[in-house]
Amino acid sequence: MKPAIGLIGLGLMGRPMGMNLLKAGYSLTVWNRTASRADELVAAGAKLAKSPQELAANSEFLLTMVSDPPALEEVLWGPSGAMQAIKTDSIYVDSSTISPALARKIAAACAERGVRFLDAPVTGGDWGAKKGELLFMIGGDAATLKDAEPVLGVMGKKWFHLGPNGAGQTIKLAMNLILALQVDALPACSTSKPPICSRANTFRVSRCASCTRISGWHSTLPTSLVSLCPPLPPLAKRITSLRAPARKTSTTPPL
């Protein structure tokens, strides 16, 4: 029998993930700070909970996809938080991007309650969420992952077990850092004076065919349009932003 799923976080990623779960025949209860974001899912058959606590009390499989660590801590441990009612023997999968330290904190809290936890951040963008083609980076117990695979398979096409709790978040932050480096270098290579390559379109095509290809808009956007993009913040500032979740938990992610 399919587990009753509770989904917290209905942003660009959460809503299409929820829609795919409904299409696959799962019973879905949802909650979001802005309740109106649940309208599309409710119209498709989801139930709207009054609080994270109510949602957790009625879910056998809890899934969170929220914006940042403070938001996650609020829905878990704040007033009417999910941790107050999360069911023993349930599975909890967090797909937000947070610090490895916070993932381990959640894992410890779940273990005290007899809940099986996976940190499972994703990559693939909202287009991947809509198509059910996300990639999950998993930290946690292999047996728990095995039991979670039917649900993950509705939302994603691949998942990788990377180690104990916190490992999924470590790899996600490392990937974000690599992406920041690529995005920082691309405009410089495309718009340098004098140009690195006199045949701009050939440069774009060759890059997209190589290992430096970036999935998403930079992969297909003509070089002439890339030159119109506003300057990016200094790389050091973006690296600092990647470490922001760690500062909020007083731990530097082991990148």
Instruction: Kindly list the catalytic residues.
Output: 172
For 85, counting Cβ atoms within 10 Å of its Cβ (0-12 exposed, 13-18 middle, 19+ buried), the class is middle
d(CA 117, CA 132): 22
**What's the gap between Cα 186 and its chain centre?**
24
Residue listed under structure tokens 């693939």: 124
Look up residue 82 and give its DSSP letter: G
For 237, counting Cβ atoms within 10 Å of its Cβ (0-12 exposed, 13-18 middle, 19+ buried), the class is exposed
| Continuous segment of H or E residues that includes residue 235 | helix 235-242
Residue listed under structure tokens 């991947």: 128
